[in-house]
Amino acid sequence: MQPGPKKILRFLQSWLINTLAVLLAVQMVKGIHFRDPGLLAPVLTALMLGILNAFIRPILVVFALPLLILTLGLFMLVINALMLYLVSGLMKPYFQVDGFGAAILGALIISLISGALNILTGNTKSRVSIRRGPPPAGKKPDRNDDNGPVIDV
């Protein structure tokens, strides 16, 4: 497969995953809803969220770097909520977030679901591998040596 079509398929897979995550967030959070019951609004919302995350979120991350360091990255949830709230403002008649609390809960759900689905489908550069190795040569097996499974992330 050529590099161009591979990137397009990866983008489409990511877009579908984000659309599913947005749909699940709408079902789970009472303050987030679509005006129309069709699939056009969720697909466009996920596309708009992806575009804003690609262009505006890095700028916000740079400006919020001291807060991100201070909160050990938890402020990223607030940035994701701001992105969701901004998408709501841009797509006002079709997609609506009623308050910032709903935006934070929706951003948390979207992040968890899209992260899990991206890892399960292999649409990310992260890999999880679990290895069990034998004890080193010349060393007696000891029950307290913490030679358990190794998880590389």
Condensed to tens digits (0 to 9), the pLDDT of residues 15-64 reads 999 999 999 999 999 999 998 888 899 999 999 999 999 999 999 999 99
Condensed to tens digits (0 to 9), the pLDDT of residues 114-141 reads 999 988 888 777 666 777 777 566 666 5
Helix H, strand E, coil C: the string for the chain is: CCHHHHHHHHHHHHHHHHHHHHHHHHHHCCCEEECCCCCHHHHHHHHHHHHHHHHCHHHHHHHCHHHHHHCCCCHHHHHHHHHHHHHHHHCCCCEEECCHHHHHHHHHHHHHHHHHHHHHHCCCCCCCEEECCCCCCCCCCCCCCCCCCEEEC
For the chain, domain boundaries? 3-136+145-152
The structure's pTM equals 0.77
Condensed to tens digits (0 to 9), the pLDDT of residues 75-94 reads 999 999 999 999 999 998 89
Residue 145 has pLDDT above 60, yes or no: no
